[in-house]
Amino acid sequence: MVLTVTLNTALDITYRVPRLRPHASHRVTEVTERPGGKGLNVARVLAALGHPVTVTGFAGGVTGDVVREGLAGVPGMSDALVPVAGATRRTIAVVDELTGDTTQLNEPGPAVAPAEWNAFQDVYEDLLTGASAVALCGSLPPGVPVGAYAGLVRAARAAGVPVLLDTSGEPLRRGVAARPDLIKPNADELAELTGSHEPVRATQAARRRGARAVVASLGAAGLLAVAPEGRWRAAPPARVRGNPAGAGDSAVAGLLSGLVENLPWPDRLARAVALSAATVAAPVAGEFDRAAYEELLGRGVAVTAEAGAA
Catalogue the active-site residues. 249
The residues, ordered by sequence, that sit 6+ positions from 110 with a Cβ below 8 Å of its Cβ are: 58, 60, 61, 84, 85, 86, 87, 88, 89, 141, 142
The H-or-E segment that residue 253 falls in is helix 247-260
**Residue 294 backbone phi and psi in degrees, to 5:** -65, -35
The H-or-E segment that residue 227 falls in is strand 223-227
Query: What are the angstrom distances between the C-alpha of 189 and each of 58, 171, 182, 218, 251?
Result: 24, 11, 14, 11, 16
Q: Distance of alpha carbon 98 from its chain centroid, rounded? A: 28
Distance CA 151, CA 294 (A): 37
The H-or-E segment that residue 86 falls in is none
Distance CA 302, CA 280 (A): 18
The residues, ordered by sequence, that sit 6+ positions from 124 with a Cβ below 8 Å of its Cβ are: 5, 56, 152, 155
